[in-house]
Structure 1
């Protein structure tokens, strides 16, 4: 059963005057109606009846869609005061917002604490200064480290968002960003392969030949390596890849293969395949060296918990097909083991 629910409040991008090459915020903002404090109340009231009484551990109001701390302070407070009322009444548990690293200071954080904010996600995107500059982020990595440290000093939960395949990026730079992230030790993270969308400078760069998007294979591989680094460090990865409803639709993107509606599963399926194959090869090596090894078809069982079963099978059966092709002389059955933790797999003979 799902234990965590989010009430999303989408704020127009008016809080961000910057023009990052990958963002079409001006077009998006032009299509959005202004949001007022009473709108926040209306949205929360719409969601709460569907969430209460379901045994949820956490109900969270999350402000998405812009650089929250860049909007005028009075406007921030009009939103936060409504959310805080529901939190004070015990109807929600957490208040969550997203912003830029250069829109964090002590005055801002003191105000957020006053309104009982719990989680701040920073759109870091990369820890490499050449990538930040090429993407026109408007700041360098120094402010990222300072802002993360400041947020944690206020005892606020920190999230870090990283993008893969930005201008000037390489696999090594993306993996470096993941390693820098674990040094900071946020509690949550998001991993987003770069997608080219309409009305952006990145699209112009693509048409000029100044930017080459990642292939799907490249995007999955790099994201997989970053995921493993973060997951091993105990950082909860709450999103991998964009949903079409986040800021674009599938027809509005030049993706180069990086957009996929099940991108997270592509990544987690690859991780599952690696774990399963490593165990299988170890067992096969042991069996081949055994004196009583029977050269007839061998039977092995792959196990996961119910949540990760689809990752073990692979997107559209990709892992099953892989093992049939690569190991035609063995028979594999797939089963569920509720005692296994998420992203843990067993291979048994």
Structure 2
């Protein structure tokens, strides 16, 4: 029996991130820790532009690229004029030189409008990642997001109708969380068929209003075990609709890690979730086979995540009858089970 991994093919172009912490944000949400996440407590847009220009010139001279330029942190579509146009003009210049192949930005769902997005698209913007966080009204209200689930869904449609690619960011485990909420959010996101998704379980970070709420006993974050389980269940739902899940958990950052007070912060969170999702695929195939397998051939590209962090899934594979000499890693694109 041959079968493919259900994950869509990953993008091949490298991303060049440009962080604009808090820039354009109308207010600060309960959980927001952009200063800890980026190591900067504000965005000096002129300095960022000058630094980006110099770095792009250097990369071009060295023959690097192409890159997808990505503006993160802050709210790109709400930057004061003429900053969105200025950044996009710089990107367009280096696109003509072959260094930049695509441009994306992140923004809030209540900061997009059809005319504004169409104008940015005409200036070279290709993709918008919306910090949806949740489609649930109660979770959004409890987290101080300032918009409703209806607004979040409408923003996704506005992005698609503007001819831009859509990315959706979800933040499970927010205040107001309850059993089944994240599954509903994932299903809603999958139904919108974005190009990409990022799943960032909520963390309690020192200096945020959420930290005060947690210290008063008013908020209980997810455990790491729950985060791994829920993320693993979310992955196949998104993959089935062709959605590339490009991040599970926030990227490592010393200033963030030293300020996390509670929540599912683990360096191998993504690896564990992806491994568990793959295990469920293999388990279903073994069930289809109808007997104890004699061989499982695994594409070598999955060797690093197959058993999970510190081989945590080895006992589960053993119980499945897949262990030891019956597992072989091969230069193949497909799994093979017999």
**Fold shared by both chains (TM-score > 0.5):** yes
Tell me if 1:39 matches 2:43. no
Tell me if 1:336 matches 2:329. yes
Counterpart residue number, 1:291: none
Q: Give the secondary structure class of the aligned counterpart of 2:328.
A: strand
Which one of 105, 128, 136 corresponds to residue 97 of structure 1?
A: 105
CA–CA separation in structure 1 for the residues paired with 2:94 and 2:322: 60
Counterpart residue number, 1:255: 262
Counterpart residue number, 1:320: 314
Alignment of 1:16-35 (within 5 A): 16-25=25-34, 31-32=41-42, 34-35=44-45
**Structure of greater relative contact order (alpha carbons < 8 Å, 6+ residues apart):** 2
CA–CA separation in structure 2 for the residues paired with 1:340 and 1:280: 19
CA offsets 1:252-308 (integer angstroms, 9 cap, x no match): 10233x11112111101101222223333554x436xxxxxxxxxxx7322222221
Counterpart residue number, 1:302: 296
Counterpart residue number, 2:4: none
CA offsets 1:132-162 (integer angstroms, 9 cap, x no match): 0011001001111221111111111110001
Counterpart residue number, 1:114: 122
Q: If the length of structure 1 is used for normalisation, what is the TM-score?
A: 0.85
Are residues 282 and 21 of structure 1, via their aligned partners in 2, closer, same or farther at CA, if it must alter by over 3 Å? same
8 A contact 2:34–2:73 mirrored in 1: no
Moved more, 307-316 or 64-73: 307-316
Greater Rg by CA: 1
Are residues 43 and 108 of structure 1, via their aligned partners in 2, closer, same or farther at CA, if it must alter by over 3 Å? farther
Are residues 317 and 15 of structure 1, via their aligned partners in 2, closer, same or farther at CA, if it must alter by over 3 Å? same
CA–CA separation in structure 2 for the residues paired with 1:127 and 1:101: 11
Structure 1 stretches of 5 or more lacking a match?
288-298
Counterpart residue number, 2:223: 215
CA–CA separation in structure 2 for the residues paired with 1:328 and 1:153: 49
Are residues 248 and 304 of structure 1, via their aligned partners in 2, closer, same or farther at CA, if it must alter by over 3 Å? farther
C-alpha displacement of 1:164: 1.0
Counterpart residue number, 2:79: 71
Are residues 16 and 83 of structure 1, via their aligned partners in 2, closer, same or farther at CA, if it must alter by over 3 Å? same
CA–CA separation in structure 2 for the residues paired with 1:330 and 1:157: 42
Q: Give the secondary structure class of the aligned counterpart of 1:14.
A: coil
Structure 2 stretches of 5 or more lacking a match?
1-9
Which one of 114, 122, 132 corresponds to residue 124 of structure 1?
A: 132
8 A contact 2:198–2:246 mirrored in 1: yes
Counterpart residue number, 2:7: none
Are residues 330 and 338 of structure 1, via their aligned partners in 2, closer, same or farther at CA, if it must alter by over 3 Å? closer
Are residues 300 and 237 of structure 1, via their aligned partners in 2, closer, same or farther at CA, if it must alter by over 3 Å? same
Which one of 285, 291, 294 corresponds to residue 286 of structure 1?
A: 291
CA–CA separation in structure 2 for the residues paired with 1:97 and 1:70: 11
Are residues 112 and 33 of structure 1, via their aligned partners in 2, closer, same or farther at CA, if it must alter by over 3 Å? closer
Which one of 154, 162, 175 corresponds to residue 162 of structure 2?
A: 154
